[in-house]
Structure 1
Amino acid sequence: MEALQTLDLTKHYRSGSFTKKNIPALEKVSLSIEQGEIFGLLGPNGAGKTTFVKLILSIVHPTSGSATVLGYPLGQRKLKEYCGYLPENHRYPAFLSAENTLIFFGRLNGLPESTLKEKAHALLETVGLKDWAKVKTKKFSKGMLQRLGLAQALINNPKILFLDEPTDGVDPVGRKEIRDLLLSLKAQGTTIFLNSHLLSEVEMICDRVAILNKGNVVRTGTISELTTQKLAYHIHLSSPLTKEVRERLDQTILPIEYHETSLVVTLHEKPQLNLIIDILRSGGIGIEDMTQQKTSLEDYFIQIMKGENG
């Protein structure tokens, strides 16, 4: 069973006092997210990422289309028990301490009063705020508020976790700690749905991503599928190329970038790699290592956005 499945999920907003105008925020989005995976939703500002999460959590209602979360249709009260949510730019009552903030949200989730304090302290330790339990949130930095927000999202032991910019404002050490925590939650079977502008973070932890632009899904795939696009290989050689071998390589009419003891060849189709290997070996040139070149997720994202908006 999928943790989350949407079919043609659509949301239009209305604007104007007299002449009502439809403003599309999301257009026929169909996604399927497996249980226990970390899924990233990427897109520029205004692409519809936050609207998508709000639809799934029934904060707003779809114009058309459907979705299920853990097999339940949207709007089922039961889902509140299974979902955790960290919104972007969240705020907490300034007069509450970190401990009391979590106790407050635990009560909202209907957790047993007898376990709330213990649960709050365990989560504060998990997110690195153990020593700040009694401190009021008005004294917290942006990064500390993000950590507290993550603890709040985990208060009900959710089966599926929705995180909107979870590492925003967090220092590099804190981001590493949050990544490790999310990977630990995944190992325990928690499904994690992630919105983030930090594409390097997404690349490190997400199993799959979807790219959203102007309310439409324009790409979906694993990190490897999206970043390994061109057939370019970096081949490290045991010795420099001879003149004869280089001439034979040039006769393939493939784009080849030569270095002293390596070369980068861009193929038109993958079987051509065997031809390159045969030429090298028949010329007595050993191959020490060979890797397929990849682009970063950020570079791929920018490339797609330029193509979509160009």
Structure 2
Amino acid sequence: MGEVAPIEVRGLRKTYGALRRAKRVEALRGIDLEVRAGEIFGLLGPNGAGKTTLVKILLAIARASGGEARLLGRPAGDPRARREVGYLPENIRFPDFLHAEGALHYLGRLSRMSAADRSRAVPAALEQVGLFDRRRSKVNTFSKGMIQRLGLAQALLHRPRLVVLDEPTDGVDPIGRKEIRDVLVRLREGGATVFLNSHLLSEVERVCDRVAILDRGRVLRIGSVDALTRRANRWRISVEGDPGVAAAALGPLAAVTGGAVEVEASTTAALNEAIDRLRAAGVLLTDVRAAATSLEDVFLDVVEHGREGAS
């Protein structure tokens, strides 16, 4: 029997204003989604796509109108599942008069953690997010990035199997974003699953294994970042010297982009033929890889075509 999916959503629907037909808003329209154990999964979508509604249903803050949502093999509202989930809300706040260590002890008490458990969990969580050396610093001296890392620490107090993050790098400077990315990678390496809701596509592209693109309550695309950004039948060949010489040797199917050559080749044989032509022309190859576009370009294209298909 395979490992239980940390998040499993089947036919999930959410309608607001269901009692007044004219005011109905379909926030989620029968979505299917599965997050695998040990991955960082990104949820993408424009404003109003339904991302926040999905997170609320997963955390039992909102109730679904239909379909099913399961966490760690149990219904999303099951307290036994919720106890194994850490959550960082979008705009977390801490009492300014507390220091970092005190803030986590305060939240631990609210979660009914024993003093003994807190004495072990608080230093470990601060160490995990790189704030142990600032444990006695007042929260009101922290940058936005440090506040977010402290928020991550509170989500990790009870060593959850699943961590749900809502816009964790929004408003954070580049150094802070890098620090948060590093924490997420360490979580994955430690075996945790991370579900990341974000509109910062460059951050998602750097850290996520797979993503889902959501718009108007529907999942339009889901897959690995590599698969989504790979350009079909296009290969990027890096060469020593002038890439224009290589492009000329390959003819009209090649173009110079970003200091390398992109060539169209629909089969392995066609790619090998292009490589042979370059070598015959005396061109020294340094790298050959599938050509890729940015996740932002993929996102914009998927949303645009999804809306055209729905209109």
What interval of TM-score do these two structures reach, taking the shorter chain for normalisation?
Answer: 0.7 to 0.9
Cα deviation, 1:19-71, whole Å, max 9, x if unaligned, reads 65210111111111111111110111111111111101100000000021111
Q: 2:109 aligns with which of 91, 107, 110?
A: 107
Q: Does the 8 Å CA contact 1:97/1:137 hold for their aligned counterparts?
A: yes
Cα deviation, 1:194-214, whole Å, max 9, x if unaligned, reads 011222221122111001111
The answer to whether 1:37 aligns with 2:35 is: no
Structure 2 stretches lacking a partner, 5+ long: none
- TM-superposed CA distance for 1:231, in Å, is 1.9
Q: Does the 8 Å CA contact 1:5/1:32 hold for their aligned counterparts?
A: yes
Deviates most, 124-133 or 193-202: 124-133
Q: Does the 8 Å CA contact 2:86/2:160 hold for their aligned counterparts?
A: yes
CA distance in 1, matches of 2:255, 2:213: 32
1:8 alignment counterpart: 11
1:68 alignment counterpart: 70
Q: What is the TM-score with the length of structure 1 in the denominator?
A: 0.85
The answer to whether 1:120 aligns with 2:118 is: no
- Structure 2 counterpart of 1:12, one-letter code: T
Q: Does the 8 Å CA contact 2:168/2:198 hold for their aligned counterparts?
A: yes
- TM-superposed CA distance for 1:127, in Å, is 2.5
- Structure 1 counterpart of 2:139, one-letter code: T
SS of corresponding position for 1:170: coil
Larger Cα Rg: Structure 1 or Structure 2?
1
Q: 2:305 aligns with which of 301, 304, 307?
A: 307
Deviates most, 231-240 or 1-10: 231-240
- Structure 2 counterpart of 1:13, one-letter code: Y
Q: Does the 8 Å CA contact 1:105/1:155 hold for their aligned counterparts?
A: no
Q: Does the 8 Å CA contact 1:81/1:109 hold for their aligned counterparts?
A: no
CA distance in 1, matches of 2:109, 2:205: 36
Structure 1 stretches lacking a partner, 5+ long: none
- After superposition, the Cα gap between the structure-2 partners of 1:194 and 1:263, relative to the gap in structure 1 and judged at 3 Å, is closer
- After superposition, the Cα gap between the structure-2 partners of 1:236 and 1:4, relative to the gap in structure 1 and judged at 3 Å, is closer
Q: Does the 8 Å CA contact 1:7/1:67 hold for their aligned counterparts?
A: yes
CA distance in 2, matches of 1:263, 1:155: 49
Cα deviation, 1:100-155, whole Å, max 9, x if unaligned, reads 32112212333221231443233234333335434543454432321221111111
1:226 alignment counterpart: 228
SS of corresponding position for 1:2: coil
Q: Does the 8 Å CA contact 2:146/2:176 hold for their aligned counterparts?
A: no
Q: Does the 8 Å CA contact 1:109/1:156 hold for their aligned counterparts?
A: no
CA distance in 2, matches of 1:66, 1:4: 11
CA distance in 1, matches of 2:143, 2:57: 30
CA distance in 2, matches of 1:133, 1:288: 48
CA distance in 2, matches of 1:135, 1:76: 37
- Structure 1 counterpart of 2:229, one-letter code: T
Q: What is the TM-score with the length of structure 2 in the denominator?
A: 0.85
What is the number of equivalent residue pairs in this alignment? 303
CA distance in 2, matches of 1:221, 1:273: 25
Q: CA RMSD in A?
A: 3.0
Q: In the TM superposition, what are the counterparts of 1:21-170 in structure 2 within 5 Å?
A: 21-170=23-172
Q: Give percent identity, aligned residues only.
A: 44
